[in-house]
Structure 1
Amino acid sequence: MSRIFQSLGTSLDDLPALWVAAPLTGLLVQPVIGHLSDRTWLGRLGRRRPYFLAGAILAAIALLLMPESPGLLMAAMLLWLLDASLNVSMEPFRAFVGDMLDKDQHAAGYAVQTAFIGAGAVFGSIFPWLLEHLGVSNQAAGGGIPDTVRYAFWFGGAALFLAVLWTVLTTREYAPEEMAAFDGAATEDHGHTLRILAARQYGTSIAWIVAGAIVVVAVAAMRLEKEVYLLGALLAGYGLASIVAIARARAGHVAGMLGHIVGDFGGMPLLMKRLAVAQFFSWSALFIMWINTTPIVAGAFYGAPDAKSPLYQEGANWVDVLFATYNGIAAVAALTLLPVLARRIGQAKTHIIGLLCGAAGFASFFVITDPKWLLASEIGIGIAWASILAMPYAILASSLPQRKLGIYMGLFNVFVVVPQLLVATVMGSITKHFFPTAPIWTLAFAAGALLLAAIAMTRVEAARVPG
């Protein structure tokens, strides 16, 4: 995506603003789709599969058109369409696993899903390289979009659509009557939601708005990255949404989608709130890694003075290998290590071990001098990545009411999105002010964040999976 944007004339400094599309669409779309998919049943298409299919069709169209964008505006609009469509398609997938499996199968089910995520990431990361070695041109006349990128997008669109279509055609979802037999009859909770919302005071809502205003003022006063404005807008927006939901509840209106989302977010179960803390710190560490690993490896291990140096390109190529390694490790660990540990010591303790492995992987960057040995660091990071993608969702699916699994999975995504926004903005400002020439210190923050996540997990009590 960055190669397409830069080929169309975007400066490097403007790329983060374009990438805001991913977290923003996830934050807005996933709770909505989760709420809707909990309440959908379209006959043979079922409950979650209509969203799989619709999202995949739109995402595939965006992927096919993206390399042909005539200008930056078109590319940016297609990116938003792509992110929104992927969220429509992928959000119900985690709830789908919870729907289809017994509680004692959740850890294994999410681990298998994680294994395929890792395998797909490895293949996707090497696909342009593979095309180049098969003779496809990696250069384009006039600085345009090379064929390797163009074909990678087209192949990705086709692969996405065919894979989702396979799932839609070869799976059968349990009907609402069957789900009720598993989880107990789903009583209508409009009245309960209305009572909870009507009993709330406006003080908390106003506090959200004030917090958003403070963030906006701080960004202007301290000249922080402009993307931080989005965080302030989101805080204030949630405050306004909660005022509307409370007012409607007090007026006796039926609790619509807004009321349910606001009510469910404020009324999250205690286990979910505690798990959200660990999720926040876990994803903070991941985004630090994704943003900073290339300049860290190129500068600290290859001695590249700047991005124009050949040493920088050499280091960046090695980072591709490192990232492919941790995704491969995640795929293997998800199928072998995680299910075994979950059966023996429980899901929560398994996740703690995974997070500590990741913290050790990040810390090892400070003692390794030969970049080849960074492959060992990626083992710990890969185990953590596998655990982050599997264990929190297994714990949630085993602990939440089945009839609200979609909305809660969507709301849980908030604690993936907010760390992304903070790291992409605040961490950049911290790096510029305190260690502009030594970005490796950001990995100390990453290691510390995973340690805090592990500590937070000690307060999460998840059911032990029977052996």
Structure 2
Amino acid sequence: MFKKPRLNFWQIWNMNVGFFGIQFSFGLQQTAVNPIFSFLGADHADLPLLNLAGPVTGLIIQPIIGAISDKTWIPGWGRRKPFFMIGAILASLCLFAFPYSSELWFAVGLLWILDVGNNTAMEPYRAFVGDKLADDQLTYGFQMQSLFVGAGITLANFSIFMFQDWFSDPSVSSSICDPTGETVSSIPTWVYYSFFLGAIASIITTVWTVVTTPAIPPSEKQLAELKEFNSKPFGTRISEPFKEIVGAIGDMPKLLKDLSLVYLFQWYALFIYWQFITPMLRRSMFGISNEDITKLEGIKETCMAGGDIIPADLGFAERIQNMSEQALAQTGLMNGTYNFVTMIVALALVPIAAKVGNKLVYVTSLFLTGIAMFMLPFIQDQWLLLFPMILFGIGWATMMGVPYSMVSKVIPQERRGVYMGIVNMMIVIPMFIQTLSFGPIVKHLLNDNPINAILFAGTSFLIAGFLALRLKVSNQYL
């Protein structure tokens, strides 16, 4: 049996650098995309459905790309690198275009393409880490990946906060109409800069990993199997990944089955947070009601139709628009904080997990994140709001590393790509359920109140924590 060489710190570092760019893109999705939808006229109850792109593309793209990459070998590139390079290029092009969206439908369409790019890159990258590392380095490797997850999303979010402070001009960016009565862009100009920075980061960091990190070549037996597969008719090769996915699900280890139930509540809750944190802040921190938003949109529509707007209404609209931009900037500060904490504690969790076990660390993280959700709606101070983000950051660091370490130890090497794709299906299916179900829930059961949505997310995290207590983890001290 082939024994993988042990890698040093800088080799594992270089291998994970590309994750920084991918996660910068995800950071913008988490923080900026939903406010952009709101700037373009979307109601907060519509946000779950408008985010359907994420779970659908993740459900379709990641397991298929994972299965295909298992059967791929390109000299000089390996199995996985072609896929996350293609994904990074596609994501970068979308990031450049996104802030120029003039209509809601255009922004939603770009989100679909952006998610295709990110998901094409994501799963092969996780499989790449598993390909390169021996079992006793997996926790270290995936926690290093968590470090870059935190770093990428941190910079994405802090850039939003800083650019709003540096470049926001209330007399321009928050205007509803210019002096001639023409409509100005609904998306603040300062938001553009974060997207441009993300597009550049996605390409540069992915190229870094491609250039610095060689893939482990397959054995002669594996090469023969790949040649045999590639000699099959095209239709067979296309259908084989689907058969592989179905077969792998049938053979799925019990740990993955139990983890899927934990993930149902964990990722349902995370998607609620990312969609509703800015609407919650508009309500809890700035006192903006649903009626205020409705009035703002009415004034915008009157302006777009060329109607006259009295000075009082124009002043009201500019004030609400400006506070909405401040809520987005505050979201950037908060999300940047929890991801900065993730970056700091990611590697520190490795010795802790080795001492007390992956399971205990994971369960604790879910409870801490649930507590953070319950605290958020009751804090109005900009800086005190960062305390629950510390708890959230510890939880996010664990969620992005420890479960993958547990899973990697129970899945076969030759099916690593497809199983990492199935793990992603366990993420996107709860997101898919959330996008279809939570709009009616928040509108009809939660009093159309984004504060109640965040409290609902906290309850879901606590349920996930109790379910995680049931996980049977083998070799949990490795």
TM category, shorter: 0.7 to 0.9
1:380 CA drift (Å):
1.6
2:219 aligned counterpart, secondary structure? helix
Structure 1 window deviating more from structure 2 (428-437 vs 313-322): it is 313-322
Q: Distance in 1 between matches of 2:368 and 2:122?
A: 28
For residues 400-455 of structure 1, the C-alpha deviation after alignment (integer angstroms, 9 at most, x for no partner) is: 11111111111111221122233334223222223316543333432332222222
Q: Distance in 2 between matches of 1:366 and 1:160?
A: 34
CA 1:11–1:305: 2 relative to 1, 3 Å: closer
Aligned match for 1:167, one of 203, 209, 231: 209
1:231-380 pair list within 5 angstroms: 256-306=240-290, 308=293, 309=320, 314-336=326-348, 338-365=349-376, 372-380=383-391
Q: Distance in 1 between matches of 2:36 and 2:461?
A: 33
Aligned match for 2:114, one of 82, 88, 110: 82
Q: Does 1:150 align with 2:217?
A: no
Structure 1 window deviating more from structure 2 (359-368 vs 161-170): it is 359-368
1:68 CA drift (Å):
4.7
CA 1:111–1:147: 2 relative to 1, 3 Å: same
1:177-192 pair list within 5 angstroms: 177=219
1:40 aligned counterpart, secondary structure? coil
For residues 337-393 of structure 1, the C-alpha deviation after alignment (integer angstroms, 9 at most, x for no partner) is: x21221102212211111121122223347757564332222221111111111111
1:16 CA drift (Å):
4.7
Q: Distance in 1 between matches of 2:337 and 2:154?
A: 8
1:335 aligned counterpart, secondary structure? coil
Percent identity, please. 33
For residues 76-128 of structure 1, the C-alpha deviation after alignment (integer angstroms, 9 at most, x for no partner) is: 44332221111111211111111111112111211111111112112111324
Q: Distance in 1 between matches of 2:47 and 2:143?
A: 33
Q: Distance in 2 between matches of 1:133 and 1:380?
A: 26
1:120-159 pair list within 5 angstroms: 120-135=152-167, 139=173, 142-144=183-185, 145-159=187-201
Q: Distance in 2 between matches of 1:432 and 1:442?
A: 10
2:216 aligned counterpart, secondary structure? coil
Aligned to 1:223: none
If asked which structure has higher relative contact order (CA below 8 Å, sep 6+), I would say: 2
CA 1:127–1:74: 2 relative to 1, 3 Å: same
The one-letter amino acid paired with 2:73 is W
1:188 CA drift (Å):
12
CA 1:56–1:302: 2 relative to 1, 3 Å: closer
CA 1:77–1:437: 2 relative to 1, 3 Å: closer
2:358–2:477 CA contact under 8 A, matched in 1: no
For residues 223-255 of structure 1, the C-alpha deviation after alignment (integer angstroms, 9 at most, x for no partner) is: xxxxxxxxxxxxxxxxxxxxxxxxx99xxx997
Q: Distance in 2 between matches of 1:143 and 1:344?
A: 57
Q: Distance in 1 between matches of 2:378 and 2:37?
A: 37
Q: Distance in 1 between matches of 2:146 and 2:366?
A: 16
Q: Distance in 2 between matches of 1:41 and 1:385?
A: 33
1:411-430 pair list within 5 angstroms: 411-430=422-441
Q: Which runs of 5+ in 1 are unaligned?
A: 191-247
Structure 1 window deviating more from structure 2 (418-427 vs 301-310): it is 301-310
TM, length-normalised to structure 1:
0.76
Structure 1 window deviating more from structure 2 (445-454 vs 133-142): it is 133-142
Q: Distance in 1 between matches of 2:83 and 2:226?
A: 24
2:272–2:453 CA contact under 8 A, matched in 1: yes
Q: Distance in 2 between matches of 1:135 and 1:256?
A: 52
Aligned to 1:237: none
What is the RMSD of the two structures over their aligned residues, measured on CA atoms? 3.5
Q: Distance in 2 between matches of 1:86 and 1:270?
A: 29
Structure 1 window deviating more from structure 2 (318-327 vs 47-56): it is 318-327
Aligned to 2:18: none
1:357–1:381 CA contact under 8 A, matched in 2: yes
1:294 CA drift (Å):
2.6
